[in-house]
Amino acid sequence: MSKGAPLVHRTVLLREAVEALAIKADGIYVDATFGRGGHSREILARLGPQGRLIALDRDPAAIAAGSALKDERFTLQHAAFSGIAATLDGLAVGQVDGVLLDIGVSSPQLDEAARGFSFRFDAPLDMRMDTSRGETAAEWLARASQQEIERVVRDYGEERFAHAIAKAVVAARAEHGIATTGQFAALVEKAVRTREPGQHPATRSFQALRIHVNQELEELSLALPQCVARLAPGGRLVVISFHSLEDRIVKRFMREQTQPPHLPARLPVRAAELPRPALRLVGKPVFPGVDETTANPRARSAVMRVAEKAAGSER
């Protein structure tokens, strides 16, 4: 495997995302995926003295990096974004004026060999975003059934050779176990019969394992309704996703929230009395431009969607 040079961390859609929040100088905002603080620093630059920014991240390394950001308007909490409501409750914060979610794995996570996210390095197969808790990818592979492994690789990696990969995992662990990224990548490489041009055969399987270990899609599904519930009227929800499974959840959720709540058929309610939708969509999906994707190839798959909390909404 080629180790390659680590990419410098670049915040994706930095200007576009922060502008989409429509920052008010005295507003309260949540950066629910702090990472290395690119979005947070830009939000703080646009806030006035009375503004406030609350940031969350479940990665202890991100929390450690964020300790260098000294600003009285800024609060950083070690929490997954699915815990946004509990975090705000703990800080005695009710409604906020904007929430930003920049979903997925970060460059520092990919580029630090010991985290086990990448097949570019031979390292312990960990893959946890929160290294302080939970089961590693190696531990899950050691106990999961062949059917479970096949489902995860197929559904989360959209890998057509999922059956062969799962069968190979079960056979390999019976002989010597699968403890490192190198072992797993080599196993997948043998099981995948045809390769996609320009893509390592293990790419989809690594994505699938990471999504499963971190429960990324479940976290997103839990977080989105909480975000909407805590937005003040006119507040913005900005979501950046990096693959189709995430974006599908975001797109469907926002579309559903732009419709009035479903009422029983034949209920005698006038149109004017119908509950109002929770959200209205703001603009079209935004994608990184050529300059950004050239400078940062990892931005190529990013898509940003924006919605605003409707006035008078009951959700």
Q: Is residue 307 over pLDDT 90? A: yes
217-246 pLDDT per residue, tens:
999 999 999 999 999 999 999 999 999 999
Contact 30, 51 (CB under 8 A): no
Taking residues 265-270, report their average pLDDT: 58
Neighbours of 98 (CB within 10 A): 28
- Looking at per-residue pLDDT, the higher value among 286 and 273 belongs to 286
The C-alpha torsion from 195 through 198 and 203 to 204, rounded to 10°, is: -60
Which residues 6+ apart lie within 8 Å of 123 measured at CB?
113, 114, 115, 116, 180, 181, 182
pLDDT at 315: 53
Q: What are the structural domains of the chain?
A: 14-107+218-309 (3.40.50.150), 131-213 (1.10.150.170)
* CA-to-CA dists, residue 72 to 52, 103, 218, angstroms: 8, 26, 33
Taking residues 90-102, report their average pLDDT: 97
Q: Is residue 2 over pLDDT 60? A: no
pLDDT at 114: 84
The DSSP code sequence of the chain is ----PPPPP--TTHHHHHHHTT--TT-EEEES--TTSHHHHHHHHH--TT-EEEEEES-HHHHHHHTT---TTEEEEE--GGGHHHHHHHTT---EEEEEEE-S--HHHHH-GGG---TTS--B----SSTTSS--HHHHHHHS-HHHHHHHHHHHH--TTHHHHHHHHHHHHHHT---BHHHHHHHHHHH--S--TTS-TTHHHHHHHHHHHTTHHHHHHHHHHHHHHHEEEEEEEEEEE-SHHHHHHHHHHHHHHTSPPP--TT----GGGSPPPSEEE-SS-B---HHHHHH-GGGTT-EEEEEEEPTT---
- 303-309 and 279-281: which strand pairing? antiparallel
- Of 182, 237, 249, 179, which Cα lies nearest the Cα of 211? 249
pLDDT at 6: 44
Q: Is residue 268 over pLDDT 70? A: no
pLDDT at 235: 98
Q: Which residues are annotated as a binding site?
A: 37-39, 57, 81, 102, 109
pLDDT at 169: 97
3-35 pLDDT per residue, tens:
444 445 678 899 999 999 999 999 999 999 999
Q: Is residue 294 over pLDDT 50? A: yes
pLDDT at 314: 53
231 by Cβ neighbours in 10 Å (0-12 / 13-18 / 19+) ranks as buried
Taking residues 283-302, report their average pLDDT: 90
Q: Which residues are annotated as a binding site for S-adenosyl-L-methionine?
A: 37-39, 57, 81, 102, 109
Q: Is residue 135 over pLDDT 60? A: yes
Would you place residue 274 in the very low, low, confident or very high pLDDT band (cuts 50, 70, 90)?
Answer: low
- Looking at per-residue pLDDT, the higher value among 3 and 190 belongs to 190
Lowest mean pLDDT: which of 4-18, 101-115, 265-279, 293-307? 265-279
The two tokens of residue 131 are 């290294």
Would you place residue 270 in the very low, low, confident or very high pLDDT band (cuts 50, 70, 90)?
Answer: low
pLDDT at 266: 59
pTM exceeds 0.85, yes or no: yes
Q: What is the percent of the chain with per-residue pLDDT over 70, rounded to a whole number?
A: 91
pLDDT at 267: 59
pLDDT at 4: 44
